[in-house]
Amino acid sequence: MDPIEAPDLADPRFKANPYPFYARLRAEAPVYRVMLPFWGAVSLVTRYDDVLQALRDERLANDWSPRMPWLLRRFARPLTRGMLNRDPPDHTRLRNLVSKAFTPRLVERLRERIQAVCDQLLDVAEARGRMELIGDFALPLPITIIGDLLGVSSRDRLRFHAWSRSMIGVSRNTDALRALPGIWALFRLLRGLFAERRADPRDDLVTALVQAEESGDRLSEEELLSMVILLLIAGYETTTNLIGSGTLALVLHPKERDRWRQNPALAETAVEELLRYTSPLEVGSVRMAREPVIFGSVTVAPGELVAPVLGSANRDERQFKDPDALDIEREPNRHLAFGQGPHFCLGAPLARMEAGIALDTLLRRFPDLRLAQPPESLPWRKSPVLRGLESLPVTVA
C-alpha cells in the first residue's frame, strides 16, 4: 500500500473534498502525525471515539502556550487569554461569567430579527434573479446578528470581517506577520468600545461582558479582548460556512431539499445533519498532552500537540450509517460539530437558530434555486481549521 502523504490542510483544493483522506487515516493511521508550518508537529486524531476522548480528556490541556509560536505570545497575547485556550479553573470562571451575559433569553429574542434580515437580503436577490450566496446572504446575515448582539456598529462590522479572515487564514508564520497590523487595529477598536460601554452602558453583549461579575470577579482587559474576538469570529464565521455549505449540499441532493421544502417541520433534524455532513469547523482547537495519553494503540507523549478532526469524526462509518450520504431525518445523530465536554460551543443555540431560519426561508422563497457554475469549480476558503466556500453563485428565478 502506498505511504500516506499529508496534504496541505489549508489548501482550498483539499478543502473541496477532504473526506477520502480522512477515511484513509481512520482505516490505516487514526492518529497521524503531521508537520504544520504554524504549529509544528501535531497528531491528527480522526476516529469518532478518539475525537470524543480528545475533546473530553482532562489530560489534554487547551492551554498550550508553552508550545505557541513566539510571534503569537509576543505580539498577540490577548488572543491566547480567552476560554478557547484556558483550562479549569480559569476556563470555568470565564465560562460562568460569559454565560451570565449570553443567556437563552438573549438568543431567543433575536428570532424575529433573524427572520427580518433574511427576508431583506432575499428580497434583493429576488429582484435581481441571482445572487452570490456567500457574500449576499450567508455572510451578511450572521455578521449582522452578532454585530447587533455585541453592539458593534454597522460601519465596523465589515472591518471586523477583514481582520477575522486574516486571522482565520493563518497557517504559517508569514501569514501571522501579515495579519498583525489588522490584529492590533482590532485590539485598538475594541478597547475604545469597552471604554464607551463603561461610560455609557447599553443593552448589548459587550456591556454585559464589561459588567459581568461572579463572586467579586470580573473579566480583565485581555480576557475581554479575547472573549469578544472569540464571540465575533465564532458568532459568524462558522454560521456563514454552515449556511453556504448547507445550501450547496441541498442543491446537490435535490431529494433531500424537496423533503425539507415539503415538510418544514424537518428543519431541526435537517440542520443537525448539515452540521454533521459539512462540519463548518473542520478541526477542533489544538490541545497539548500533560501526560501520556493513549488513543487505541498509539501513545501521545507529554508535551505533544493533538488536533481532533471533527470533519473526520462526523463521517466515521463506525458511528454513522452511510456517513457520506445526506439524510435530513437521520436519527440518532450524535455529531461533534460543536465539540463536546467543557468547551462545547456556547453559541450553538444561536447558530442552530440562524441556520434553520436562513435555510428554511431560502428553500421556501426559491424552490428552484440552482448553481450558476459547476460544483467542481467552486472556490473554497484557505484555512487550516474551518471549511467553507469562498463564493457560491446561484440563480433564484
In sequence order, what DSSP letters do the residues of 226-260 get, joined into one string? HHHHHHHHHHHHHHHHHHHHHHHHHHH-HHHHHHH
Partner residues linked to 293 by β-bridges: 300
Write out pLDDT tens, residues 210-228: 887 665 677 888 888 888 8
Q: Quote the pLDDT of residue 215.
A: 56
Question: Can you tell me the distance from the alpha carbon of 52 to that of 332, in angstroms, rounded to the nearest whole number?
Answer: 16
Query: What CA–CA distance (Å, rounded) separates 83 from 62?
Result: 9
Predicted pLDDT at 342: 87
Lowest mean pLDDT among 176-190, 224-238, 273-287: 176-190
**327 compared with 88, residue with greater pLDDT:** 327
Helix (H) or strand (E) holding 287: strand 287-289
**Which pLDDT does position 315 carry in this prediction?**
98
| Cα(344)–Cα(347) distance, integer angstroms | 9
| Range from 228-232, 244-248, 347-351, 392-396 carrying the lowest mean pLDDT | 228-232
Residue 236 C-alpha cell reads as 459568524
Residues 6+ apart with CB under 8 A from 385: 168, 281, 282, 283
Give the pLDDT score at 247: 98
Average pLDDT, the chain: 89
Distance of CA 253 to the CA centre of its chain: 23
Q: Which amino acid is at 124?
A: V
- Does 147 or 18 have the greater pLDDT score? 18
Give the pLDDT confidence score for residue 73 in this predicted structure.
65
Cα–Cα distance between 93 and 133 in angstroms, integer?
Answer: 39
Q: What is the mean pLDDT of residues 244-270?
A: 97
Q: Which residues contact 79 (CB under 8 A, 6 or more apart)?
A: 72, 167, 183, 226, 229
Q: Is 339 left (phi over 0), alpha (psi -120 to 50) or beta?
A: left
- Reported confidence tier of residue 173, pLDDT bands at 50, 70, 90: low
Confidence class for position 170, pLDDT limits 50, 70, 90: low
On whether the CB atoms of residues 366 and 128 are closer than 8 A, the answer is no
> Does residue 347 surpass a pLDDT of 60?
yes
As a 3-state breakdown, the chain gives helix, strand, coil percent values, each rounded to 5, of 55, 10, 35
Which amino acid is present at 52? L
Position 273 confidence tier, pLDDT thresholds 50, 70, 90: very high
> 35-56: per-residue pLDDT in tens?
876 678 999 999 999 999 999 9
Does residue 355 register a pLDDT over 90? yes
Q: Which residues are registered as beta bridge partners of 132?
A: 393
CA 295, 300, 306, 307 torsion-angle sign: negative
pTM, two decimals, is: 0.92
Give buried/exposed letters for 111-136 (b at 16+ CB in 10 A, else e). Answer: eeebeebbeebbeebeeeeebbbbeb
Q: Which three cell numbers stand for residue 166?
A: 486574516
Model pLDDT, residue 154: 80
Which of 55-64, 145-154, 350-359, 381-390 is least confident? 145-154
User: Fold for domain 12-372+382-395?
Assistant: Cytochrome p450 (1.10.630)
129-133, 206-210, 228-232, 296-300 — which is least confidently predicted? 228-232
C-alpha 336: how far from its chain's center? Answer: 12
How distant, in Å, are the alpha carbons of 62, 95, 239 from that of 342?
Answer: 11, 9, 21
DSSP 2: P
Rg (CA), the chain: 21
* Higher-confidence position of 378 and 10: 378
> pLDDT tens digit string along 65-86?
766 666 666 666 777 767 877 8
Q: What is the DSSP string of 91-125?
A: HHHHHHHHHHHS-HHHHHTTHHHHHHHHHHHHHHH
Q: What percent of the chain has pLDDT over 70?
A: 90
Residue 171's pLDDT is 58
pLDDT attached to residue 158: 72
